[in-house]
Structure 1
Amino acid sequence: MDRSTFYKLCDLLKNHGGLKESKNMFAEERVAIFLNMLGHDQKQRLLVRRLRRSKETITRNFRQILRCVLRLHNILLKTPEPIPEDSNDERWKWFKKCLRALDGTFIDLRVQEIDKPRYQSRKGDISTNVLTACSVDMEFTYVLPGWEGSAADSRILKDALLRTHSIKIPRTYYLVYVGYTNGEDFLAPYRGQRYHLKEWKDGYKLRTSLEYFNMKHSATRNVIESFYEAETHADIISSCCLLHNLIRREMKFDPLEPLLDIDYGRQFMNGDDDGDNIDVVESSIAWTL
């Protein structure tokens, strides 16, 4: 985050997030401490020593700024827009009216010993399963954190559709991974066929129309020590997604983008609950050739 974006964030937090100066710290200092802990894994004890503040002050400040950032979700989360009929984008033109990509991701976290069985993923890691949806320019349009690592992707998607602040799908569709149900509004790849882009490297040639579809689907969909309780972890994940959108919006050059492999792609929701939105996941033969 550059200096200009930092001050933009501070202004948003003051005007829309309820950020105020504390008795002993300016608002900008409070935000800087929060970002250091969030973005650079700065431990509380290090900040206590460096800033000569009490641990209680550092902890209270982090939680207060976290709540302020979450209040910006209506501003920083992007409203999804379907791919237009006349799109000639080489990655997205194959999927007219698509609302972009939707997927789950596992994020490691620490939980109490009694909760570890629920948060253990199929790979054995202690993690949380986060459902996210992204736009073509790599901004988040929806985030649902908080589910245990043992929860199946399809179960989390069903929950996202039934929540009060649900993901809105106005009779279009999302591209989804093979773990989700292939229905009218969620287009998954063909099972039993090559899918990941790395499988087409080293001169491999496409053999069937199903492999060709999976290749296009994969190229498009891949756009997307302090202890805190699980609820706070969920808030931190949402906060990171909002800050990511702000950086993508305000900075002409994203310093992390060169680290991405261009071959692999470039719970909050904006808008009111109106129109004919999807509220159930059902299997369908609509996408069958």
Structure 2
Amino acid sequence: MENSNFSDLLDPYPSYSSDDEDEEELEEIRREQDEKEWMALCQITGKLILMYYKKYLCKEPCRTSSRSGNAFIQEILRGNETRCYENFRLRKSVFVDLSNDLAEKYGLKPTRGMSIHEILGMSLMTCAHGAGNRLIQEIFQHSEEIIYRHFHSVLKAICELARDIIRPHPNYNDGAGAHKPCNGRYLPFFRDCIGALDGTHVKARLPQGQEKPYIGHKGYPTQNILAVIDFNMCFTFAWAGWEGASHDSRIFGEALRRPELNFLRPIGNKYYLVNVGYPHMKGYMAPNKGDNVRYYLAQFRRGATRELREPRGQIEKFNYLHSSCRNIVERTFTVWKARWSILRDIPFYQIDTQRDIVLATMAIHNYIRKKCNMNDAFRGAENELYVPSVDPDVGTSLRTNNNINAKNVKEQSDLVWMGLRDLIANEICEA
């Protein structure tokens, strides 16, 4: 016992010595780990500070061309007429007038570094050529954000213009303005016609998972547009943004049902010419339907001989003249789409913006027609016998529907209106 007590006196805490050493080692390990984490955090912070500095405080200029966007615009406006038309699809005088009208009447404003001409020019080039934002940045020497912001400001102003310019003549129902056929071959028979109505499709881009309602008979997403055309190849009504899978008759029925759209209907015996996809009803003259009955001009021109191309009987003679007169709407769609390449492959904007692009390009189409009646793009299409050199189903809604009298449009097949069509057919045969 004495030996044991003596040993305890020499080492009173034998069991605690190793524990203290372990704790010191753990503490040392923790300090080393903290130091490593701190150094890693400092490195990350330093890199972020450097990135911020390079991006926001010490940016290397990107658009450094000696020719500014304003200089480019002035060069175009002072140069050959052809250059302005090729770049913006407008003649110089029309470009300047449009700039002034948008600034004075529709709220388009210049900025400290950009004139109205430059702001408008960027947007017109985007629509005319379907040019992407990066290409416009390079041509006009501005940033992506500036290009985007001004494109939408111009779009907003032109959509305000559309409210005033896409409308019929105040006395449209009396045939005033261009609301009667210009060609004498139609006038005796379609003297009460005040325009033509049809639908057309423009490509649409939707986020993944939202495309299905917009995929119709064309097999890719489109927006369906209802339009009314006068005989001066101007739009007098347009309703854009419908899903491509929507049938023309449904859109037509909604246009009739909703007064806020200001769809001006024919009054009395006046009417719009419509194709086989719409009902034959009061105010809307459709062609005759039937098995082996031709209607579209392209169908009449497929015959191998002149005899086979000629209309057969009273029904086809009416259909041929009806289609020839209503061809004004096909020719107008062709000129409009040919002028604006953006409509053939629209960029990935919000669907509301895509709708506004359609309306804005229609508005400028009308503006050009009213300002410059002999514009190059209209010259070929002014020929009454002109037929678009594309398949009839490209860009235009030509589908028929046997159930169009269900919900939206009740077909009015009364004897009076059906008889009017037969009377016109008799007059055509006797002429």
TM-score normalised by the chain length of structure 2? 0.60
* Letter in structure 1 aligned against 2:232: D
Name the SS of the counterpart of 1:287 in structure 2. helix
Q: Which has the higher contact order (CA 8 A, sep 6+)?
A: 1
**What's the counterpart of residue 271 of structure 1?**
none
Structure ID, larger Rg: 2
2:141 to 52, 70, 74: 52
**What's the counterpart of residue 189 of structure 1?**
287
Counterpart CA distance in 2 for 1:124 and 1:4 is: 41
**What's the counterpart of residue 165 of structure 1?**
261
Cα deviation for residue 244 of structure 1 reads: 0.3
1:218 to 302, 319, 323: 323
* Letter in structure 1 aligned against 2:385: D
**What's the counterpart of residue 231 of structure 2?**
136
How has the CA–CA distance of structure 1 residues 30 and 88 changed in structure 2, closer, same or farther, with 3 Å as cutoff? closer
Task: Please say if residues 250 and 409 of structure 2, whose CA atoms lie closer than 8 Å, have aligned partners that are also in contact.
Answer: no
How has the CA–CA distance of structure 1 residues 239 and 140 changed in structure 2, closer, same or farther, with 3 Å as cutoff? same
**What's the counterpart of residue 235 of structure 1?**
356
Counterpart CA distance in 2 for 1:11 and 1:143 is: 25
Matched, 1:96 2:218: no
Counterpart CA distance in 2 for 1:239 and 1:104 is: 17
Counterpart CA distance in 2 for 1:75 and 1:10 is: 16
**What's the counterpart of residue 314 of structure 2?**
209
Matched, 1:284 2:412: yes
1:127 to 218, 222, 225: 222
Cα deviation for residue 262 of structure 1 reads: 4.2
Counterpart CA distance in 1 for 2:181 and 2:148 is: 51
Name the SS of the counterpart of 1:169 in structure 2. coil
Note the aligned Cα RMSD (angstroms): 2.2
Name the SS of the counterpart of 1:180 in structure 2. coil
**What's the counterpart of residue 68 of structure 1?**
157
Counterpart CA distance in 1 for 2:226 and 2:199 is: 4
Counterpart CA distance in 1 for 2:218 and 2:183 is: 39
How has the CA–CA distance of structure 1 residues 136 and 86 changed in structure 2, closer, same or farther, with 3 Å as cutoff? closer
2:244 to 146, 149, 168: 149
Cα deviation for residue 259 of structure 1 reads: 4.5
Matched, 1:18 2:107: yes
How has the CA–CA distance of structure 1 residues 92 and 11 changed in structure 2, closer, same or farther, with 3 Å as cutoff? farther
* Letter in structure 2 aligned against 1:53: H
Cα deviation for residue 169 of structure 1 reads: 0.6
* Letter in structure 2 aligned against 1:196: Y
Task: Please say if residues 92 and 220 of structure 1, whose CA atoms lie closer than 8 Å, have aligned partners that are also in contact.
Answer: no
* Letter in structure 2 aligned against 1:211: E
* Letter in structure 2 aligned against 1:188: A
* Letter in structure 2 aligned against 1:282: K
Cα deviation for residue 78 of structure 1 reads: 4.0
- Write 1 or 2 for the structure with the bigger share of helix: 2
Matched, 1:200 2:328: no
**What's the counterpart of residue 275 of structure 2?**
177
More moved, 219-228 vs 231-240: 219-228
How has the CA–CA distance of structure 1 residues 102 and 92 changed in structure 2, closer, same or farther, with 3 Å as cutoff? farther
Q: How many residues align?
A: 276
Name the SS of the counterpart of 1:114 in structure 2. coil
How has the CA–CA distance of structure 1 residues 92 and 242 changed in structure 2, closer, same or farther, with 3 Å as cutoff? farther
More moved, 231-240 vs 90-99: 90-99
* Letter in structure 1 aligned against 2:285: L
* Letter in structure 2 aligned against 1:215: Y
| Alignment deviations for residues 44-64 of structure 1 (CA, whole Å, 9 cap, x no partner) | 011112222110110010001
Counterpart CA distance in 1 for 2:294 and 2:181 is: 29
How has the CA–CA distance of structure 1 residues 93 and 34 changed in structure 2, closer, same or farther, with 3 Å as cutoff? farther
Counterpart CA distance in 1 for 2:188 and 2:328 is: 14
| Identical-residue share of aligned pairs (%) | 29
Task: Please say if residues 194 and 214 of structure 1, whose CA atoms lie closer than 8 Å, have aligned partners that are also in contact.
Answer: yes
Task: Please say if residues 311 and 317 of structure 2, whose CA atoms lie closer than 8 Å, have aligned partners that are also in contact.
Answer: yes
Task: Please say if residues 78 and 139 of structure 1, whose CA atoms lie closer than 8 Å, have aligned partners that are also in contact.
Answer: no
| Alignment deviations for residues 172-231 of structure 1 (CA, whole Å, 9 cap, x no partner) | 321111111111121111112211112223412222110011001101111116311111
More moved, 144-153 vs 226-235: 226-235
Unpaired runs of 5+ in structure 2? 1-89, 330-345, 389-407, 423-431
Task: Please say if residues 181 and 187 of structure 2, whose CA atoms lie closer than 8 Å, have aligned partners that are also in contact.
Answer: no
